[in-house]
Amino acid sequence: IGLVGHDNRIFDSVDGRQIAMALNYANINVSQYICSINDTKFIETKKHSKIELDDFVIARLSENEKLFGFDFDE
């Protein structure tokens, strides 16, 4: 299928070096990789990555900038 996707829970207790290895692997071996990762993990991961991760960021989400534009629990 050439697509891998998951949310940031998979990276929750993972060290930034290991996340960097996973993202470097995905960059080489997967045609499209979609994941969400919190900002502190992303900053830590960038220190260990062989690639410029900011070049691959499509959207930066926050309390004001939501993926679907609203909260589902309301």
Residue 63 has pLDDT above 90, yes or no: no
Burial grade of 51 (CB within 10 A; 0-12, 13-18, 19 or more): middle
Choose between 70 and 2: higher pLDDT: 70
User: What does the pLDDT read at residue 8?
Assistant: 65
**CB-based burial of residue 1 (10 Å sphere; 0-12 exposed, 13-18 middle, 19+ buried)?**
exposed
Res 1: pLDDT: 62
pTM of the entire predicted model: 0.76
Q: Which residue has the higher pLDDT, 64 or 6?
A: 64
Q: Give per-residue pLDDT as tens, 33-52.
A: 888 888 899 999 999 999 99
Provide the 10 A C-beta neighbour count for residue 39. 10
CA 29 – CA 21 distance, rounded (Å): 12
